[in-house]
Chain A
């Protein structure tokens, strides 16, 4: 019960999994909120004999009732939430603007932006009560540059940056910090799966550092923003992208 608690949405795989492992190494009890129970179980199994126990909760984070239930159960079991990392989301479908259906648009905005809003809302009361806490939301290089055939995704990620700044201002008087991590091209299984080896090498080669990020490198940035090292940082966006975008 004394361990710090981190809730990682989308924590079952990819950057989320790396983030769960990083916080666990640092002594946090990680709670994974994700739709994918199988991957969630696998992530928990990777915690191995880490000193603190992890937990998986299956939830559709676009539904307020499910979000509320999940956070209520975390609070009643653990009594605290120190860090919220909103990583749930993704691109899901690319397409030219005339091909993007309103349903696809809504799905993309819901999965990225609305989940971020609902989960942030759910931790405000306990963090205010504790007089401390940190929230890390996830943007993307596309939230800065935009991207062809990613209008919905880019819109959701730019929105997350503005949401984070607004929330940072709102919560600063309560000692709660809110920051944004912005990964660029990152070699998660899901992203890697979209390209063959040659395409991937060519794409990675376009980054100034000549390669894509490893999920662990994004997790390192998230841990910096969430922990005491960044005690005086709020409303900021940290880009971990090998120089892909320099806003």
Chain B
């Protein structure tokens, strides 16, 4: 039995990595998926992959940090699918620098994409979820949001902010039966950590993870499907850590 049959899911940043895995997994579970991704070609490539697997998808070039772009994306979702049941706020960037050397522009870009983007997308889907008295919002945070980062205070701030935002929105939307949660990955086998780690460093980090391996996008996708499914309807305001035990909470 497919667990998301008939649902509509928006997954931001789903052109690659964790977002792509979540989009593919949700489509496999029967959801119609909006592949909301900055680059049109990457969005379209994932859409094709989903359709080739027998799923339903809409590609939409979306800049989550821009209100008109987000509104257009949600509008396109409604036109195609008539509703939105699930939002996955996954789009994010992680440039590195110390606070001492941090550019104001870079600060704005990181907070603007990761945190403000999560706000904009959540705000855009909320009226529709309130109207149908149900829905799920799942945002991807990070272990850096819990423990800080020595090379990316903007990234850590944005991810910590997502947790505070999630708990608040969970309280606000709980009476309407809308559940709002975070997934907290650790080091993952995606392009993002490769921006600031060598391959050796990336795989060496596995030695510090109790389960002995870095995370795979599919690990996060399974958690996202769970949180989006009927089996997690009473889970809200929570941060589900999917990190092989790297941080336990």
Query: Which positions in A face B, CB cutoff 8 Å?
Result: 165, 168-169, 172-173, 177, 207-210, 213-214, 217, 220-221, 223-224, 228-243, 246-247
Residues of chain A within 8 A (CB-CB) of B236 are 208-209, 242-243
- Tell whether A217 pairs with B244 under 8 Å between CB atoms, given A230-B222, A237-B249: no
Judge whether B149 is part of the interface by a CB distance below 8 angstroms: no
Q: For residue B170, which residue of chain A has the nearest CB?
A: A243
Q: When chains A and B are docked, how far (Å) is the Cα of A241 from the Cα of B232? A: 10
**1/0 contact string of B46-67 vs chain A (CB within 8 Å):** 0000000000000000000000
CB within 8 A of A208: which of B170, B222, B231, B233?
B170
Cβ-defined partner of B244 (8 Å) among A220, A221, A232: A232
B249 / chain A contacts, CB cutoff of 8 Å: 236-237, 247
Given contacts A233-B240, A235-B210, A243-B237, contact A210 B245 (CB under 8 A): no
Least CB separation from A235: chain B residue: B248
Contact mask for chain B residues 181-214; partner A; CB cutoff 8 A; 1 contact, 0 none: 0000000000000000000000000000011110
Q: Dominant SS at the A interface?
A: mixed
24 examples of A-B residue contacts, CB within 8 angstroms: A168-B210, A168-B245, A172-B210, A208-B174, A208-B237, A209-B236, A214-B234, A217-B234, A221-B235, A223-B231, A224-B226, A224-B231, A230-B226, A230-B242, A232-B211, A232-B216, A233-B242, A234-B244, A236-B245, A238-B235, A242-B174, A243-B171, A243-B236, A246-B171
Contact B210 A246 (CB under 8 A): no
Kindly supply a per-residue 1/0 record for chain B positions 154-172, scoring 1 wherever the CB is within 8 Å of any chain A CB and 0 otherwise: 0000000000000100110
B161 to chain A, nearest CB (A): 15
CB A205 to nearest CB in B, in angstroms, measures: 10
Contact partners of B175 in chain A: CB under 8 A: 208-210
Are B234 and A240 in contact (CB-based, < 8 A)? yes
B177 within 8 A of A: yes
B219 at the interface (CB under 8 A from A): yes
* Chain B contacts to A: CB under 8 angstroms: 167, 170-171, 174-175, 177, 210-213, 215-216, 219, 222-223, 225-226, 231-238, 240-245, 248-249
Q: How many A-B contacts are there with CB distance less than 8 Å?
A: 105
Given the contacts A242-B174, A243-B174, A233 and B223 also touching, CB distance less than 8 Å? yes
Taking a contact as CB atoms closer than 8 A, the residue among A169, A209, A220, A242 that contacts B245 in the complex is: A169
**Bound form: Cα–Cα A241–B238 in Å:** 9
Which 8 residue pairs across A and B have the least CB separation, nearest first?
A235-B248, A172-B210, A208-B174, A246-B237, A232-B219, A220-B231, A234-B245, A235-B245
- Rounded to whole Å, the gap between the CB of B162 and the closest CB of chain A is 13
Partner of A233, one of B212, B216, B241: B241
**A219 closest partner in B (C-beta):** B231
- Checking B174, B212, B237, B241 against A173 with a beta-carbon cut-off of 8 angstroms, the contacting residue is B212
Contact assessment for B211 and A234 in the assembled complex, using a CB-CB cutoff below 8 Å: yes
Q: Report Cα–Cα, A234/B223, bound state, in Å.
A: 13
In the assembly, what is the distance between CA of A243 and CA of B235, in Å?
7
Closest B residue by C-beta to A245: B237
- When distances are taken between beta carbons in the complex, the residues of chain A under 8 Å from B235 are 221, 238-240
Min CB gap A153→B, angstroms: 21
A209 surroundings in chain B (CB, below 8 A)? 174-175, 177, 234, 236
Cα A247 to Cα B237 in complex, Å, equals 8
